[in-house]
């Protein structure tokens, strides 16, 4: 590893954990017949919770194909995402690192609905899973939501798109914001936009107060002709067909079931009448209204489940089923907005928290692995594993060498039925700058640190996950030695980021490409920088602070917009001299009236460059 773990070594003695010193050198021999490398398919849901599949205990949403995949393979009960939010989970997957080492450690939006697509982009210096497998002879393809950098102002000068990060083929949403709309006007195919037969509309609207909310016809305005998830699934099948005679890696990152609640009528009509209540959702908690929100949410998941079934069926049809490792998981827990009702569906079971939370409901996710003839059917593993384990697992299966600076451990021995040869994590680590939180899990213990600007060391919580999976009993006060050891890991098990810190902040010029913070520490640059201290997604508080530094005298414009792109408040619009500035927004518009709850954007323009910050205000 690229960091000092000696400071945390005493944690092993305190927690009573054990780890196998080496993995079996014969695991590949057990895995492969005649030296043939397996195809690898990694299927990813967006915001699908730990208890939203039938095989994990879901009682209302039908998922027969993923349930069958679990019956035919292995189900993990303590699998973790890379983060409680979208982009960093995907970065952890691509890099094999946790959020204390990965380049992307938080959601960082670039542009608004009206200009550039994309999130904080990964630079050329990041070595991805796709590049590793491509060098091992795999044909690599991705379909679905990327979220690690968009096209920018010039697609020809953007190193962050999938086809420049190791993928031979790509189809889907480059931008997370664009993926909020299941009926976009286009999707990306490699580096070109491919038009869809849909009309443009904003994916954040309230239902008109002068219309009948019980009339399904009044919701037709929120649908289109071509549902993006269906198109993405079709491209996944086509990629498999095209490459059936070669060795391939397919990363299928479905946007389902991330809100907005949008699906073809045929996807959710079978559920209408099944749920009570299923009252209209008016869009007041973000995204788009829907007449039958419970039915739509369930229908979206069932439709995605059918797409997984189509992939498994095609593998059998092509005769490559027994030489294809398929792993399914989710990027984080169930969401809390957009008409999604996690309580109604018991989406995370007994777990605490949802998306945007570092408690178990935000980061513990379903995970299923299937490989006929290699993985014993109907098995369950309680091995603690995280998404950054996928890179070394795929490396071992593909007989290639993973990059040096990773946090993952191959779980191939567990998949192949040799748990005695499985090396285990001494500890797992997460950090989430938005909520100023850091987490360590080791053995049965989970330590959560909640920091603040005034208290950077934070208040520490400790939970016994074996006996308190709901994290309802904080036992930190009686276990100071364990807490102290976890705090040492939180200090020494990470490196500082040039973009995010453990305090809310977004410190990045999106077109000034950075470097890998682990292998190369970037030097400070004499450029304009902004720090957006925002309460996303925390409850509405008194002020939102926007800090920025000017490297020279220049014109500054700082405005607040609502989700429809309408200006709400002008905070700064003048020329300012070189120096540091802090501007605050108290949640009021230019008329002095408090705004309603919802999604808002700060647009900071310095010397012609624009940076967009996102916040969700909940009164």
User: Do the Cβ atoms of 58 and 346 come closer than 8 Å?
Assistant: yes
**Per-residue pLDDT tens over the stretch 63-83:** 999 999 999 999 999 999 999
- If one compares 290 and 532, the residue with the highest pLDDT of the two is 290
**Per-residue pLDDT tens over the stretch 497-546:** 877 766 433 333 332 333 344 433 222 333 344 333 333 333 333 456 77
The CATH architecture one would assign to domain 529-617 is Sandwich (2.60)
Residue 509's pLDDT is: 32
Contacts of 573 (CB under 8 A, 6+ apart): 556, 557, 558, 559
pLDDT at 330 over 60: yes
The rounded distance, in Å, linking the Cα atoms of 116 and 120 is 12
Backbone angles phi, psi at 555, to 5 degrees: -80, 135
pTM to 2 decimal places? 0.79
Helical (H) or strand (E) element with 367: strand 364-370
The rounded distance, in Å, linking the Cα atoms of 619 and 214 is 27
The three-class DSSP label of residue 485 is helix
The rounded distance, in Å, linking the Cα atoms of 504 and 299 is 36
The CATH architecture one would assign to domain 428-492 is 2-Layer Sandwich (3.30)
Q: Would you tell me how many other CB atoms lie within 10 Å of the CB of residue 157?
A: 10
For the chain, give every domain's residue range: 20-421, 428-492, 529-617
Residue 30's pLDDT is: 40
Cis amide bond preceding 537, omega within 30: yes
User: Do the Cβ atoms of 178 and 200 come closer than 8 Å?
Assistant: no
Which of 201, 41, 271, 29 lies closest to 133 in space, CA to CA?
Answer: 41
Give domain 20-421's CATH superfamily. Answer: Alkaline Phosphatase, subunit A (3.40.720.10)
The rounded distance, in Å, linking the Cα atoms of 238 and 258 is 24
- List, as own/partner pairs, every contact residues 590-595 make where C-beta atoms lie below 8 angstroms and the sequence separation is at least 24, other chains included: 594/619, 595/562, 595/568
- Relative to beta strand 169-173, strand 192-195 is unpaired
Residue 518's pLDDT is: 42
Going through 74-212 in order, the beta strands assigned E by DSSP cover: 74-80, 139-145, 169-173, 186-189, 192-195
Matching fold, domains 20-421 and 428-492: no
């Amino acid at each position: 590893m690229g960091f000092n773990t000696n400071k945390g070594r005493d944690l092993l003695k305190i927690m009573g954990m054990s780890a196998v010193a080496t993995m079996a050198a014969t695991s590949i021999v057990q895995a492969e017949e005649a030296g043939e490398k397996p195809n690898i398919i990694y299927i990813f849901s967006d915001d699908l919770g730990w208890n939203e599949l039938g095989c994990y205990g879901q009682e209302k949403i039908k998922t027969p194909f993923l349930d069958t995949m679990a019956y035919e393979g292995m189900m993990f009960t303590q699998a973790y995402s890379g983060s409680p939010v979208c982009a960093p989970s995907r970065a952890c997957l691509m890099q094999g690192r946790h959020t204390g080492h990965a380049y992307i450690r938080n959601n960082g939006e670039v542009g608004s609905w009206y200009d550039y697509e994309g999130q904080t982009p990964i630079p050329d210096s990041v070595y991805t899973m796709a590049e590793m497998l491509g060098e091992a002879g795999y044909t690599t393809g991705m379909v679905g939501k990327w979220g690690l950098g968009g096209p920018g102002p010039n697609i020809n000068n953007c190193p962050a798109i999938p086809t420049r990060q190791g993928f031979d083929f790509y189809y889907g949403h480059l931008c997370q914001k664009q993926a909020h709309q299941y009926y976009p006007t286009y999707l990306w195919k490699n580096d070109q936009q491919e038009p869809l037969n849909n009309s443009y509309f904003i994916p954040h609207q309230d239902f008109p107060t002068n219309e009948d909310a019980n009339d399904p016809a009044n919701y037709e305005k929120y649908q289109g002709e071509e549902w993006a998830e269906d198109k993405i699934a079709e491209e996944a099948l086509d990629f498999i067909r095209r490459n059936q005679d070669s060795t391939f890696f397919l990363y299928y990152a479905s946007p389902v079931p991330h809100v907005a609640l949008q699906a073809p009528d045929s996807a959710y009509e079978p559920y209408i009448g099944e749920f009570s209540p299923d009252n209209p959702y008016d869009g007041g908690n973000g995204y788009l209204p829907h007449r039958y929100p419970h039915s739509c949410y369930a229908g979206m998941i069932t439709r995605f489940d059918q797409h997984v079934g189509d992939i498994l069926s095609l593998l059998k049809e092509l005769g490559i089923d027994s030489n294809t490792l398929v792993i399914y998981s989710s990027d984080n827990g169930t969401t809390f907005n957009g008409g999604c009702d996690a309580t109604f569906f018991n989406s995370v079971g007994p777990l605490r928290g949802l998306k945007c939370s570092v408690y178990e409901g935000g980061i513990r996710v379903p995970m299923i692995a299937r490989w006929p003839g290699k993985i014993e059917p109907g098995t369950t593993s309680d091995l603690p594993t995280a998404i950054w384990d996928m890179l070394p697992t795929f490396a071992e299966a593909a007989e290639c060498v993973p990059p040096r600076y990773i946090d993952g451990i191959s779980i191939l021995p567990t998949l192949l039925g040799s748990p005695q040869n499985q090396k285990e994590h001494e500890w797992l680590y997460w950090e989430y700058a938005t909520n100023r939180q850091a987490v360590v899990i080791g053995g049965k213990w989970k330590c959560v640190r909640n920091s603040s600007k005034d208290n950077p060391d934070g208040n520490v919580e400790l939970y016994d996950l074996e006996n308190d999976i709901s994290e309802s009993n904080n036992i930190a006060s009686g276990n100071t030695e364990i807490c102290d050891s976890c705090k040492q890991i939180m200090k020494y098990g990470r490196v500082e980021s040039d973009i995010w810190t453990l305090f809310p902040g977004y410190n990045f010029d999106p077109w000034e490409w950075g470097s890998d913070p682990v292998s190369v520490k970037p030097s400070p640059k004499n450029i304009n920088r902004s720090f957006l201290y925002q309460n996303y997604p925390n409850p509405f508080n008194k002020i939102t602070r926007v800090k920025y530094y000017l490297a020279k005298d220049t014109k500054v414009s700082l405005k607040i917009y609502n989700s429809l792109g309408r200006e709400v408040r002008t905070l700064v619009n003048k020329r300012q001299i070189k120096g540091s500035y802090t501007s605050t927004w108290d949640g009021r518009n230019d008329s002095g009236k408090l705004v309603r709850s919802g999604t808002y954007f700060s647009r900071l323009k310095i010397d012609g460059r624009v940076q967009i910050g996102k916040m969700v205000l909940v009164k």
